[in-house]
Chain A
């Protein structure tokens, strides 16, 4: 058996660590790229949302490389995402692939359910070993999130642009290789220290821009055309509350902070959107209300035809909060030039607004 799975940001780290520890063979599809996108688009229904197409592309590449067992999230409350696996399995079979599709309801199951699944895949490793491996995997995830927060801060004000991004890449590798908790801790400390040592211009007070929206496009840099790196290049500090580690409920329960953060966002959304609409629509509305006074602007990421984000987009203009929101829609065209132009214009606008309000406050 060789397991493979579609990518989601840096979540690979967890599965890699897990399966390496348990001696499960795996095939890692190449990171999202033009080719996997083209493959996905070719075999997907035309009007399905982008994450479907990209994850299908990963699956095809994983199978081509010899994978025979696909791991995929499913389950209710996930909007179309929860239905992806059903249709993707059919598409892959129609293409003639032979494989097992293992779905896991990440949002509902307790850690036990996931542990059982992993145990099965590992051919019956003792549960204690499975739990230890899962724990290490999740610890890697949260270490990465901590490092990423530091990267966001440094990127905006580093003197030589690109160093933070390079360190981030190295950190991902180091964390990936850590084989136990102490190694992981060391790698994390090491990179946080290195990031803190990057030469920065302390005189700059960077604009703070929140990045939010549908989780897949927020977390998968290929899908959002590296919007965070681009914002960093423009001297903007990215603020993001969505991290891979928040994505699963069981890690939410390891991470109480994530829960309260989410509840706070929902409460903020209440006057405009009273209920969960699946996906991340509720959070998107909440973030606008919540951060109207703490950030200079918000970049709202949404896949083309994304249902919950269309709800959010329709509601946002009615929010009585004075904060500019730039909605960027990701589709398979990946029009990078257009995205950059809009981003630059947006950042200019934020600068002008800030100067005007400073001038107002002084004068």
Chain B
């Protein structure tokens, strides 16, 4: 069977169920790269210029680990997911960068996903994407529908059952059950804001979410808020969406600033372009809501685990003291 490789990085955390279903329906075998490790990051970083953002370095390492494991790698160029907003340059140029920097990279399946240009182009892109597997448009249609269904299921698990991506993927049988230790009764709620590929790659963030849970924190993320709520908060804070994933940063931040949470942590990957601006907007807004403790963390390949843990503990302690004193 033809093997399609999917790097466990970047949009994996948002779209893996959809992609997997699509390729399986076309009769392909889907291979996912193993979770991030030190060597994934090191190989990734060594291939690109040092200014490149951490998530792209990580992505590059994952593709590297798929070399020899599959017949194709799937790296879409995601330009826009709706009219008016655009993605970060690095998502658009991702397949081209990978082709340039990963030696012996298997052929790349690189559809242009540009929904701002309308549905027709999107369907054509899907059809082209399917060429190595089938010429039958009906088969492509069936695969797309099934893919969309599993995306809805995935999203539903997160919105309605409050699961983070790793847990939702486990529920769908796509990932081993994460050993989230059932946190005891939570004593506070903290919203963690960041791109899913930063928040849910447990290696690069040193298990940030799990650690917080271990400290008795109930963690909420953008995934658990309703899409309309995010869109509304985004509109209030920054007007019409400019970036494709602005809702998961500015929207989610604004949303939780108005909800019953004790604090907000934003987690930014070093070298992230859009976040340099979006997080600034969020920070400015947070200053106007002093009742919510706000902390911003930047993560790069050298972030030391110990330092991060110390900061988290101090932050949680501070909130605890604050809560006890009222």
Residues of A within 8 A of B (CB): 45-49, 52, 76-77, 79-80, 82-84, 86-87, 90-91, 94, 272-279, 281, 304-308, 310-311, 313-315, 317-318, 329
Contact = CB atoms under 8 A, between A and B. Distances in A.
B277 A83 contact: yes
B63 to A, nearest CB: 13
B116 to A, nearest CB: 8
B86 A311 contact: no
B142 interface: no
A314 B52 CA distance: 9
Interface stretch (B95-103, B148-156, B252-260): B95-103
Contacts, number: 108
Given A83-B243, A277-B89, A281-B89, A47 B276 contact: yes
Contact of B242 (A47, A49, A86, A90): A86
Nearest to B92: A277
Contacts of B277: 45, 48, 52, 80, 83-84, 86-87
Contacts of A305: 51, 271, 273, 276
Nearest to B95: A274
A131 B8 CA distance: 54
B20 to A, nearest CB: 25
B79 interface: yes
B49 A314 contact: yes
A135 B195 CA distance: 46
B89 A314 contact: no
B123 to A, nearest CB: 19
Nearest to A82: B242
A281 B51 contact: no
A318 B100 contact: yes
Contacts of B284: 90-91, 94
B274 interface: yes
Interface residues of B, number: 36
A187 B48 CA distance: 49
A307 B90 contact: yes
Contacts of A274: 77, 95-96, 110
Interface string B185-199: 000000000000000
Given A87-B281, A310-B90, 7 more contacts: A47-B271, A47-B272, A47-B276, A83-B242, A91-B280, A273-B93, A311-B89
Nearest to A270: B96
Interface in B266-320: 271-274, 276-277, 279-281, 284
A79 B97 contact: no
B112 interface: yes
B268 to A, nearest CB: 8
A96 to B, nearest CB: 14
Contacts of B35: none
User: Which of A79, A279, A306, A310 is the most central at the interface, judged by chain B CB atoms within 10 Å of its CB?
Assistant: A310
Contacts of A86: 238-239, 242, 277, 281
Contacts of B112: 275
Nearest to B90: A307
A82 B84 CA distance: 12
A313 B280 CA distance: 27
A49 B89 contact: no
B281 A276 contact: no
B96 A273 contact: yes
Contacts of A276: 92
A314 B92 contact: no
A317 B79 CA distance: 24
Interface string B73-95: 00001010000111011101101
Contacts of B90: 277, 307, 310-311
Nearest to A302: B51
Contacts of B276: 45-49, 80, 305
A47 B276 CA distance: 6
A222 B23 CA distance: 51
9 contacts: A45-B279, A47-B271, A48-B277, A49-B273, A80-B273, A307-B88, A308-B89, A308-B93, A315-B96
Nearest to B96: A273
A304 B280 CA distance: 18
Given A86-B238, A277-B89, A278-B92, A311 B279 contact: no
Given A48-B276, A76-B84, A313 B93 contact: no
B258 to A, nearest CB: 18
Contact of A315 (B86, B97, B242, B273): B97
